Amino acid sequence: MSVRSVSKSQCDSVKDVVPEENKDGDAKTLALNVLLLGERQSGRSSVGNALIGGAVLDAGASFGGVAVTSRPQRVCRTFPRFFRRNGAESHLSLRVVDTPPLKLRPQGVHVVVVVVRADLIDKETRLERDAESLFGPDWCRHSLLVLTHADALEAALEPSLFLTQAPDWLRALADRSVGGVMFVDSGSDWPSLTGEPIRERILSLSARNHHQTLPVIGLNTNEAD
């Protein structure tokens, strides 16, 4: 899996104070809640598996038109000594949620990863409306847009050029996503490959927001059984 990105200039390296959740020796741990939003066959589960580093998420039922796992779950993994702050090593613990965020009401969400297929963009998705109904208008400050199946695009089409030729709805979504845009290929060996570039972008975006969370303010009740 190759990863390419178009970054927002505001998305800088980690500089904010990392809250202490627990300690492992001298290393502190930062736990981040990451919510995946994407339609069926968008590559959303593959993005989640890349983040975690294993084949643990499967696409299944839908929630408000958004594909989710067949059974509610929150997958966690800690990456030891993933980044440094003030010369000290810190662990990164990711809690990747691929389900209606009912269990995240108390904690909220640090980053919303919106997953869209780069080769299927003719029809506008409802992802932006769903996200706003869940979190309100501030969700964009915590959002990262991931375009999958980038390998299906023309070889000469660079990410920045692709966005200039994209439909209005996708350009608007890219502009509003403060975390920027990342392009990933859709190889069948995704789960076995590293998602480190995406993890680094998620960490950077959360730091930009001082690791504050988005509260869940609404929930679509049309959840599939």
Q: What is the pLDDT of residue 38?
A: 86
Q: Is residue 220 part of a domain?
A: no
Query: Which residue range forms the structural domain that includes residue 201?
Result: 3-208
Which residues are CB-contacts of 127 (< 8 A; sequence separation ≥ 6)? 37, 38, 39, 66, 114, 116, 173
Residue 201 to residue 167: CA distance in whole angstroms: 25
Q: Is residue 214 part of a domain?
A: no
Name 115's bridge partners: 38, 146
Q: What pTM value is reported for the model?
A: 0.77
Contact 111, 141 (CB under 8 A): no
Name the helix (H) or strand (E) containing 199: helix 196-208
Q: Is residue 225 part of a domain?
A: no
The domain tally of the chain equals 1
Q: Is residue 218 part of a domain?
A: no
Name the helix (H) or strand (E) containing 196: helix 196-208
Selection from 147, 100, 95 nearest residue 121 by Cα = 147
Q: What is the DSSP letter of 189?
A: T
Contact 134, 223 (CB under 8 A): no
Contact 152, 118 (CB under 8 A): yes
Q: Is residue 137 part of a domain?
A: yes
User: Counting Cβ atoms within 10 Å, is residue 177 exposed (0-12), middle (13-18) or buried (19+)?
Assistant: buried
Q: What is the pLDDT of residue 51?
A: 87
Residue 154 to residue 95: CA distance in whole angstroms: 34
Amino acid present at 123: K
Q: Is residue 223 part of a domain?
A: no
**The CATH number of the domain where 85 resides is what?**
3.40.50.300
Amino acid present at 155: A
The string of DSSP codes covering 111-156 is EEEEEEETT--SSPPSHHHHHHHHH-GGGGGGEEEEEE-GGGS-TT
Q: Is residue 52 part of a domain?
A: yes
Enter the tokens of residue 24. 């492992």
Q: Is residue 215 part of a domain?
A: no
Question: Tens place of pLDDT for every residue, the chain, 225 residues?
Answer: 455 555 443 333 222 323 334 445 567 888 999 999 888 778 888 888 888 887 666 655 444 444 444 455 678 888 888 888 777 888 889 988 875 544 555 678 999 999 998 888 888 888 898 899 889 999 999 999 999 877 766 654 666 788 888 899 999 999 999 999 998 876 655 544 568 889 999 999 999 999 999 998 875 444 433
